Structure 1
Amino acid sequence: MSLYIKDIVALESPIGEAALWTVQVPAFKALQRSQIFDFRHPVTLITGENGVGKSTLLEAIAVNAGFRVHGGPFDGSFNSFENPLRNVAKAHFGPQPMAGYFLRAESYFNVAATYGAEAPGWVNLHEMSHGESVMHIVQQGFVGPGLYLLDEPESGLSFIRQMTLLAQLHDIAAGGSQIIMVTHSPVLLAIPGAEIWDFSADGQMRRGVELEETIAFRALRDFMADPVEIADYMVEVTRPE
């Protein structure tokens, strides 16, 4: 198995502005504790509750690989040393030339705007719904073997579209690509053969987690078992006193 990125390593002495705040980020605490996160599967899925630093860790991976921090296709023009996360972690890569795409939910609108009417497939992404445009990018922009980084791509996708994305990402990986994805979706966490990394607020990281053990899956399972009772309970416990 040949991977585009083999591991990400914590620097012994983080420097600069990034070091001041990343020491408080649970995912980076876990990296400092382990010193290295190595990738062992073509598909790695990163999950955990909000605020544990999943997207920030993916950003560190992206800028180390040379992607633009806001996302988009790899074009080799971004000077990733400009991003302070390069002062916290370092990545080691495989022998093949870098290629791929960084799909980032929080800045996707701006990236779509830069394409204008010349997005992959010669379309205007702003003339589609968010979910349609995300699926279009995966179908038309994830072309050929490469490193594909996705940050919460389920945003705006229906349940059925998430199942479609699951199948497409599995096929992309089977074609020789590496996928690293941050997600809260129990559907996407079910990609066959993927390794799940689960981060917690206390700075712990568990790898090789089973789908049924993730918070995302357990929360959905409990809700579907009795949606009325769960809904009533959540309304009650979140009501201001």
Structure 2
Amino acid sequence: MRAITQYRLRTRPLASHKIPSWVHDVPAVQVLKRIGTFEFNSPITIFTGDAGVGKSTLLEGIARSYGFNLIGGPLGFDRAGPFDPLYGLATVTLGLHAKEGYFLRGESHFAMATRYGNSAPNATNLHHMSHGESVMHIAQTFHANGLYLLDEPESGLSAIRQMALLALLADITRDGAQVIMVTHSPILLALPNAHIIELDDDATFSTPTLETTTAYRALRDFLADPETIAQFMVDVTDPGRT
């Protein structure tokens, strides 16, 4: 009963929607063009990988194909607006869920709060909260019948709040919701039963376990010896070193 079952290349690119030339150089787009389809067979799908591989570009394409505004927010809060750069190249295959949900973008959450004004859920002004508090306020409106697209929701969230968000997402997906998320957070990558897709800058991808993701291994190694690794990073980035 998933809301989206695939994100796939169109049989023919839309001639009416010019695809910017830079799109073809994005590693995640190169992966999509090679494999043809990303399948969403789990209630929770997580895209991870280093900055710049195109995770957010993919999620933006998924969101706009479904009908969300690119700034984010609830489906139908405002007209869908401009198309994303991938719109002429790829689209979603819809499942059986009624169309509803929320697109939460860490980078444009402030703009979404401004659009809400005093009319955010429960007649709240999100600008009267911290960034993390406002993200959690929105997340607490999520329910079992929706599709939730989350682009780096960990922005502004403490480790404890990330754990709280993990529990909330696990609860709603267990009851029928679908989550497609982009994250660098090892905490959110630990969502039970999540299907993880790690994208690399050489235009490859893998479906690792939590413990073999780059984000998890980097944090594990840092926590094992924080002083040594911190000093190493300071030394290798010191412009005065020869």
Pairwise same-fold verdict (TM > 0.5): yes
The amino acid across from 1:228 in the alignment is E
Partner of 1:187: 187
Q: How far 1:205 moved relative to its partner?
A: 1.5
Q: Percent of pairs identical after alignment?
A: 51
Measured in 2, the distance between the counterparts of 1:79 and 1:47 equals 26
Partner of 1:211: 210
Deviations 1:83-115 (A, max 9, x none): 342101111001232100000011110001111
Partner of 1:235: 234
Deviations 1:178-221 (A, max 9, x none): 000000000000000110000000111112x1001111100000
Q: How far 1:175 moved relative to its partner?
A: 1.6
Measured in 1, the distance between the counterparts of 2:78 and 2:7 equals 22
Equivalenced residues, count:
238
SS in 1 for 2:121: coil
Q: How far 1:78 moved relative to its partner?
A: 3.1
Partner of 1:43: 44
Determine if the alignment matches structure 1 residue 125 to structure 2 residue 164. Answer: no
Distance 1:12 1:23, change over 3 A: farther
CA contact (8 A) 1:66 1:76 kept: no
The amino acid across from 2:31 in the alignment is A
Measured in 1, the distance between the counterparts of 2:196 and 2:68 equals 23
Structure 2 unpaired stretches of 5+: none
The amino acid across from 1:167 in the alignment is A
Q: What are the residue-to-residue correspondences of 1:60-139 with 2, within 5 Å?
A: 60-75=61-76, 78-79=79-80, 82-139=83-140
The amino acid across from 1:191 in the alignment is L
Alignment TM-score, normalising by the size of structure 2: 0.94
Measured in 1, the distance between the counterparts of 2:224 and 2:97 equals 47
CA contact (8 A) 1:198 1:205 kept: yes
SS in 2 for 1:21: helix
Partner of 2:147: 147
The amino acid across from 2:169 in the alignment is L
The amino acid across from 1:11 in the alignment is R
Q: How far 1:82 moved relative to its partner?
A: 3.4
Distance 1:216 1:237, change over 3 A: same
Measured in 2, the distance between the counterparts of 1:8 and 1:61 equals 7
Measured in 2, the distance between the counterparts of 1:78 and 1:90 equals 18
Alignment TM-score, normalising by the size of structure 1: 0.94
CA contact (8 A) 1:80 1:86 kept: no
Q: How far 1:80 moved relative to its partner?
A: 6.2
Partner of 2:4: 5
Q: Which has the higher helix share?
A: 1
CA contact (8 A) 1:64 1:80 kept: no
CA contact (8 A) 1:45 1:180 kept: yes
CA contact (8 A) 2:106 2:151 kept: yes
Q: How far 1:11 moved relative to its partner?
A: 2.9
Measured in 2, the distance between the counterparts of 1:69 and 1:212 equals 32
CA contact (8 A) 2:144 2:173 kept: no
Measured in 1, the distance between the counterparts of 2:74 and 2:197 equals 25
Structure 1 unpaired stretches of 5+: none
